[in-house]
Amino acid sequence: MEQADLDLIRQARRGKPEALADIVRNYQQFVYRTAYGVLQNATDAEDATQEAFIKAFRSLKQLREERTFPTWLARIAVRVSLDMLASRQRRAQSPSDEVSAAVSGAEDAAVARIDVDRALARLNEEHRTVIVLRAFHGLEYDEIAQVLDIPVGTVRSRLHHARMQLRRFLGGERGDG
């Protein structure tokens, strides 16, 4: 984590509004990717991003160590996204058709992207979340354990099962399974 970000967090804790705007600018991609990875829906991911930032800044004074801000923010983003997912499931809404709406890139990568989209959507939320935290953001096992509030051993076994399932789904899509 950069010193500039640490300074921004300190300023935000003192209630400086410009610092909040800068933090949003620097971390919106991080939060949005987390939310999108868990929710697999662009509209919900936008809502989750907004809610995660509001919750984060509301409880910013409870953050003990400024250096843990990314993990702490990821934890809030994951919780907000999982709550949103649960509420969506309660409303019995199927995963959105706009699953690729937020994804951009060259056309030759489109097939691979759709494969990952589909494979991630087929994982259950626990497995999808650990994949997002590990593969999207490269968090260490102990950081994932902090984010999800589970033991490191559980992270390890959950990631193993998630990877093996993903392998099956991606292997099926690629035809190499």
- As measured in angstroms, the least distance from the Cβ of 76 to another protein is 13
Q: Report which of 7, 88, 19 is spatially closest to residue 48, judged by C-alpha positions.
A: 88
| Residue number, 35 or 82, with CB nearest to another protein | 35
Please state, in angstroms and rounded to a whole number, the distance separating the CA atoms of residues 114 and 10.
41
Using the rule CB under 8 A, is 111 a contact of another protein? no
Q: Which two tokens stand for residue 84?
A: 């949103």
69 touches another protein (CB under 8 A): no
Taking the C-alpha atoms of residue 128 and residue 4, their distance in angstroms, rounded to an integer, is: 32
CA 33 to chain centre: 5
Region of 1-9, 69-77, 90-98, 114-122 interacting with another protein (CB under 8 A): 114-122
Give the span between the Cα atoms of 123 and 116, in whole angstroms.
Answer: 11
* Residue 150 contacts another protein per CB under 8 A: no
- Kind and range of the H or E element at 140? none
- Rounded CA gap, 151 and 124, in Å? 19
Mask for 79-108, x = binds another protein (CB under 8 A): -----------------------xxxx---
- The residues of the shown chain that bind another protein, judged by CB under 8 A, are 17, 20-21, 24-25, 28-29, 32-33, 36-37, 42, 46, 49-50, 53-54, 57-58, 102-105, 109, 112-113, 115-117, 120, 131-132, 134-138, 140-141, 156-157, 159-160, 163-164, 166-167, 170-171, 176
